[in-house]
Structure 1
């Protein structure tokens, strides 16, 4: 557990020890715990004095974006980018937040980029109350994630511009990677939008009107990113189908060439096989010019078959 605690009085932040976080000295207290283990759960339960339901929610292993009103406070779970490489099916790390007037507890399991951005805002004096802090989290997450979503779209644009049968395998890998990321991001952005909208509509004097407006803006931005990700997912599916068609055409073209070559050599194989039999009375077998004659006939047949396929435009299909 790597704790971080602030006491904010009239916008002036002060780092405090974790042992002093629960002392009632006025202002806003923000406690952030990094890592989910028995020590974290024990501190939240014994020192933080939180309800067991809240402790379980803040330390749950599997989470999805949601918002719940509990008494005079609210529990919020958000998803954002992590500094660590995560599994393809779960590309976004989570931050669990419990906010009530005068106090905010946040817990992360993986190192989250947005936490550092929020700390910078706190140090700059831009946070005064729980609403400001939650708004800072929502804004930091969406601002950090937005360029990543735009990059996915740019990568897909590059694939569309470089569409070529000779690069099918390389393009398919890129398209698959973009599609997996878009699906993983969209899986959390849709419920995250709903969670932010629900939080903005919650009653309570610890959320100011400006906080509600900022939360609504963050929800709108999450909705826009979700729509962009849905577009990327659909474009990726179409691109994958196009690449599969190009690959199939490439295979058909090569199969056609192989078939034509086989048709050219089929009569030649028959003739050479016939004269290769070890039996008596083959026509002209004893003549000294027989070999040259057979080679000439084979060459004429091969040329005739090739000219026939060229006139029928089989090589250009």
Structure 2
């Protein structure tokens, strides 16, 4: 089982082994486990002495962003970008947090980018209490996700500007990928906003007024990202329809051209078919100029039919 622990006193942080985290008192003790298997359950129960309900929440197999008050603390589940590549259906890694006055316990299944950023703040002395630590997590996660959402919007902008019937298949793949990613992100960012709003409103002296303001700001940022992702999803659907229309229009134009060519050669095929019959009685069959006359008549028919279609504007796209 891997993980780490910090003892924080008056802005100074000391990293210690997980098994030594509770050997001496500190203003704030943060322990983080990078697994949620049976070993984590045993550590949370035997070493940290947590309640069974809290342990189940910290080690649940599937989680969604939520915040719940339990006794004198708060259970918080958040989702953020992982250092590993995850599936498009579940693109964000989870972090589960149990916070009470003087203690913060966290656990992840996948390495979270935000954990590295929060550790830097802890070691820099910017974290002093549980409220600061949770606020740092909320801010780091939303700040890390914001460019991802912006990149999806920019990628969709490029597709909208490059709409071209000759690039339908390439653009359609890109639009579909952007839409799937937007749906996957919105699935977790929308409830994450609600979780942060709930946490900011929870009673408790371990959350200061500045912490609540920062949590509200993170919630507003998450709400903006959720709205942007919804807009991306709708725009992607509209762009996909436009690409489908372009492809259908391209097929219609090609079908029209084929039909026109077929109609030009239909009477010519009839004439050549008649004169290709091996029977007696065909007009001018024995004349030396008959071949030139038939070819001229076919050429005249082709020109006449083409002029008719041009006059009717059938060649316009």
Alignment TM class, shorter chain as reference: over 0.9
Equivalent-residue separation in structure 2 for 1:270 and 1:198 (angstroms): 81
Q: What is the deviation of 1:47?
A: 1.8
Match of residue 134 from structure 2:
134
Mean Cα displacement is larger for which, 51-60 or 261-270? 51-60
Q: What is the deviation of 1:112?
A: 1.0
Q: What is the deviation of 1:72?
A: 0.8
Match of residue 266 from structure 1:
266
Q: Which runs of 5+ in 2 are unaligned?
A: none
Q: Please give the per-residue CA displacement for 1:167-210, whole angstroms capped at 9, x wherever unaligned.
A: 22222222222211211111111111110111111111111111
Q: What does residue range 78-89 of structure 1 map to in structure 2 within 5 Å?
A: 78-89=78-89
- Asked if 1:110 corresponds to 2:110, the answer is yes
Q: What is the deviation of 1:278?
A: 3.3
Match of residue 183 from structure 2:
183
Q: What is the deviation of 1:166?
A: 2.2
Q: Which runs of 5+ in 1 are unaligned?
A: none
Q: What is the deviation of 1:243?
A: 1.6
- Asked if 1:293 corresponds to 2:293, the answer is yes
| SS at structure 2 position matched to 1:186 | helix
| SS at structure 2 position matched to 1:221 | helix
- Asked if 1:99 corresponds to 2:119, the answer is no
Mean Cα displacement is larger for which, 166-175 or 220-229? 166-175
Equivalent-residue separation in structure 1 for 2:66 and 2:282 (angstroms): 89
Q: What does residue range 197-276 of structure 1 map to in structure 2 within 5 Å?
A: 197-276=197-276
Equivalent-residue separation in structure 2 for 1:62 and 1:141 (angstroms): 19
Equivalent-residue separation in structure 2 for 1:286 and 1:110 (angstroms): 90
Q: What does residue range 137-156 of structure 1 map to in structure 2 within 5 Å?
A: 137-156=137-156
Q: Please give the per-residue CA displacement for 1:23-76, whole angstroms capped at 9, x wherever unaligned.
A: 351221111111232222222222222222222221222211000111111110
Match of residue 46 from structure 2:
46
| SS at structure 2 position matched to 1:284 | coil
TM-score by length of 2: 0.95
Mean Cα displacement is larger for which, 77-86 or 172-181? 172-181
Q: What is the deviation of 1:269?
A: 1.5
- Asked if 1:192 corresponds to 2:192, the answer is yes
Distance 1:278-1:48 versus aligned 2 partners, 3 A rule = farther
| SS at structure 2 position matched to 1:314 | coil
TM-score by length of 1: 0.95
| SS at structure 2 position matched to 1:271 | helix
| SS at structure 1 position matched to 2:83 | coil
Mean Cα displacement is larger for which, 242-251 or 271-280? 271-280
Equivalent-residue separation in structure 2 for 1:227 and 1:50 (angstroms): 38
Q: What is the deviation of 1:102?
A: 1.3
Q: Please give the per-residue CA displacement for 1:277-309, whole angstroms capped at 9, x wherever unaligned.
A: 333433333333333222222111111111111
| SS at structure 2 position matched to 1:53 | helix
Q: What is the deviation of 1:265?
A: 1.0
CA-based RMSD of the aligned residues comes to 1.5
Q: What is the deviation of 1:125?
A: 0.6
| SS at structure 1 position matched to 2:62 | coil
Match of residue 19 from structure 2:
19
Match of residue 308 from structure 2:
308
